[in-house]
């Protein structure tokens, strides 16, 4: 258990959560977004963080507003998207190649939280009419 990466812990959490939802016979709407920051040695980037490195922030919506009774099939979809994500954002294993993921402390976690909070700031107003009867 001490060797698990955070994604493995997330998958375990999803299985437990979906089992609990099934047991309680509840319905929820689920959205999963992957987010990351990619550092680049190229000077053409618009923004930079420490050490003069340019960066790009990436946000990928994997699942949007899914509501279903069988959640287990979504775990496969999330795993598949996780495996493809490094290729989609152009990360390289060799740091000298130019595009590498940031560390957690240099990442875009606060920006991701802010985006989520902006969506939830008017939670009582159904702006997209998904749940209006």
The pLDDT tens digits of the residues spanning 50-85 come to 556 788 999 999 998 888 877 888 899 999 999 999
Cβ atoms of residues 10 and 73 within 8 Å: no
**Could you give the CA distance from residue 108 to residue 59 in angstroms, rounded to a whole number?**
10
pLDDT score recorded for residue 83: 93
pLDDT score recorded for residue 13: 93
pLDDT score recorded for residue 67: 84
Instruction: Calculate the dihedral angle through the C-alpha atoms of 92, 94, 95, 99, rounding to the nearest 10 degrees.
Output: -20
pLDDT score recorded for residue 36: 92
pLDDT score recorded for residue 129: 58
Structure tokens given for 111 = 């920006």
pLDDT score recorded for residue 5: 85
pLDDT score recorded for residue 52: 65
Cβ atoms of residues 91 and 72 within 8 Å: no
Q: Which residues of the chain have pLDDT under 50?
A: 45, 133
pLDDT score recorded for residue 2: 67
- The contacts of residue 98 (CB under 8 Å, 6+ apart) are 40, 41, 42, 92
């Amino acid at each position: 258990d001490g060797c698990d990466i955070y994604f493995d812990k997330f998958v375990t959490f999803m299985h437990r959560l979906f089992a609990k939802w099934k047991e309680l016979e509840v319905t929820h709407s689920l959205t999963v977004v992957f987010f990351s920051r990619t550092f680049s040695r190229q000077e053409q980037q618009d923004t930079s963080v420490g050490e003069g490195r340019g960066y790009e922030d990436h946000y990928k919506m994997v699942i949007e507003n899914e509501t279903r009774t069988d959640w287990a099939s979504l775990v496969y979809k999330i795993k598949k998207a996780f495996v493809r994500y490094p290729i989609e954002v152009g990360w390289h294993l060799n740091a000298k190649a130019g595009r590498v993921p940031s560390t957690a402390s240099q990442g875009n976690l606060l920006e991701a939280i802010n985006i989520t909070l902006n969506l939830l700031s008017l939670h009582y107003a159904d702006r997209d009419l998904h749940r209006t009867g």
